[in-house]
Amino acid sequence: MDSEAVRRPRAREIGLVLGELPPGPRNAITDVPDVRVGHVTLVGGEGRLVPGRGPIRTGVTVILPHGDNLFRQKVPGALFVLNGFGKPTGVAQLDELGVIETPIALTSTLSVPRVADGLLEHAIQTNPDIGITTSTVNPLVFECSDAWLNDMQGRHARAEHALEAIRQASSGAVEEGNVGAGTGMLLFGFKGGIGTASRRLPSELGGYTVGALVLGNFGRREQLTIAGVPVGRLLRDWRPTGSGEERGSVIVVLATDAPLLDRALRRLARRGALGLARTGSIAGHGSGDFVLAFSNAIRIPHEPPEPVLQLPYLVESGRLIDLLFQAAVEATEEAVVNALFRAGTIVGRDGHTAHALPLEETLGLLRRAGRL
C-alpha cells in the first residue's frame, strides 16, 4: 500500500463544501447511530500476474446496520439498480421481503461466493438453529471488479476475511481510499476505493441522519466533475490510467435513522443515483451500479410475538422527506469525492499503476472556479 493514502485529506479538510445540509460529527455513514464498518485489506506480491497467486490488491468491507443480532432483529432495506451489470448475491430475497438480516459485504467480483460463505458462517455461529429449526439466511454481498490491479482469478478475499471484517467493525471513524474492498479500484481514471459522508437534518425536523458509503470503481477521466467543475476534462492528459472506456462499477450503501420501510427506502436509494450523476457518472453499459438503503430505526423480529406489528413510519410528504432525499444526494456525492481525495497511488499486477488524483492541480482548478 502507498503511505500517501494516510496523509491525503478529505474534501472538507481543504475547505471544499458540497451541498447545503450539514454533515454529522464524523461526516461518515457511522454518524447514523449504531452503524458499524469494518475492513480487511489484502496486499501481496509485485510484478507479473500469475493467475491464482498474485499480485494481490483486494479486500473486504462490511457494513453492519446495528450491533445486535441482525438475523433476529432484521432492518428494512431496499435496492435500486441503476445499471445491472453486476454479480451481487441475496438481492432477490431483499426485493421480495424488504429486510436485511446479515452484514452487507463489499468485495472483488470473483470473491462474492467466498465472502458470502463468511456471512453464512457468522450467521450460523450466532444463530445455531439456522437451517435446523428455523429458516435459512440471506447473505448480501456486492462487488466491483479490481482486475486491472489484482489477481482476480485467485479469489483472495475469502470467508475468514469477511469474518475478520465483521469482528473489527466499529462505529467510529471510517477508513477511506485504498482499504478493504476499495484496495484495487479505479475511479474516473484515477485511484478509487472507499469513501463516506453524511448529512444531518434540522433538529426541529427530527434531527435524522443519512450516511453514505461508496465503493467507487467507475467512470472515464473526462467525466469527472467536482463541485460543478469539469476537473476530469481539465486533467485529461495527466498520467492516463487504463482504458478510456467507461468500465467498472459502484456500490452505494445509504443508512438512516429515519423510520422508513422498504418502499420509502427504495425512493431514498434512487436519490443516491443523483449524487453519482453530480460527480459525472453516466452508469455506462459495462458498469454495475447498485444503491442499497436501510433504516435501523425499525427492527423486524425474526419471530414476531404477534401476527400484526405496529411500527413507526415517517410521513412521506412535505419538507422532511424532501430533506432526506437531499441528504442522500449530497452524502453520495461527497462520498465519491472523498474516495478520490483519500486514495493514494498504488502499483498492481503487471506494473499497472493507478495514480492518485493530483490534489495540488485539482485544488488549483477549484480555486480558479471559485469553489474554494
Give catalytic residues, as residue numbers.
Answer: 249, 287, 289
Alpha carbons 47 and 325: distance in angstroms, whole number:
45
Which 8-state DSSP code applies to residue 148? T
Q: In what order do the strands lie in the sheet with 104-108?
A: 36-44, 56-64, 104-108, 140-144
Give φ, ψ of 259 to 5 degrees: -75, 95
**Are the beta carbons of 154 and 119 closer than 8 angstroms?**
no
SS3 state at 87: coil
Q: Using the Cα atoms of residue 14, residue 61, residue 112 and residue 261 in order, give the sign of their dihedral.
A: negative
85-104 residues labelled b (16+ CB within 10 A) or e (exposed): bbbbbbbebbeeebbbbbbb
SS3 state at 338: helix
SS3 state at 303: coil
Alpha carbons 49 and 329: distance in angstroms, whole number:
39
CB-based contacts of 100: which residues, under 8 Å, 6+ apart? 65, 70, 74, 75, 76, 77, 94, 140, 294
Q: Which of 61, 81, 65 is nearest to 73 (CA)?
A: 65
SS3 state at 353: strand
β-pairing verdict for 140-144 and 104-108: parallel
**Are the beta carbons of 340 and 221 closer than 8 angstroms?**
no
Look up residue 310 and give its three cell numbers: 405496529
SS3 state at 206: coil
Look up residue 279 and give its three cell numbers: 460527480
Look up residue 195 and give its three cell numbers: 469513501
